[in-house]
Amino acid sequence: QVQLVQSGGGSVQAGGSLRLSCAASGHTYFQDCISWFRQVPGKERDGVAAIYTGAGTTYYADSVKGRFTISLDNAKNTVYLQMDSLKPEDSAMYYCAADLRLRCASSWGRSSRFENWGQGTQVTVSS
């Protein structure tokens, strides 16, 4: 079992930037699917971005393409979500999730496939 530890997030004005981190404890990222999800109260958890650590392949929801960037730092064993040009509708609780030793494929945004989750971090974007 892997423990995912998140950091980053906070409050920012529209147009600003934030970076989220997802560090793995007890596991070295290798050929895993790491996804970022976000959730607002009363709604389902939606996939935002994902990376397959084996090849560096990335995936993005249409709503964040061109604004968010997911990346992996192998030396720090950490996956990052760089969020630029933030909008109020990006406000949510953000979670990282890991599906170990599996490719992301088309289900990267399906929360039910993930068993390993970070603790969540709040992102608030004011207008």
pLDDT at 1: 78
Q: 13 pairs with which residues across the strands?
A: 126
Q: Which residues of the chain have pLDDT under 70?
A: none
pLDDT at 100: 92
**Mind listing the pLDDT tens digit for each residue in 48-62?**
999 999 999 999 999
User: CA 78 → CA 11, 27, 40, 87, distances in Å?
Assistant: 22, 11, 25, 25
8 A C-beta contact, residue 19 and residue 82? yes
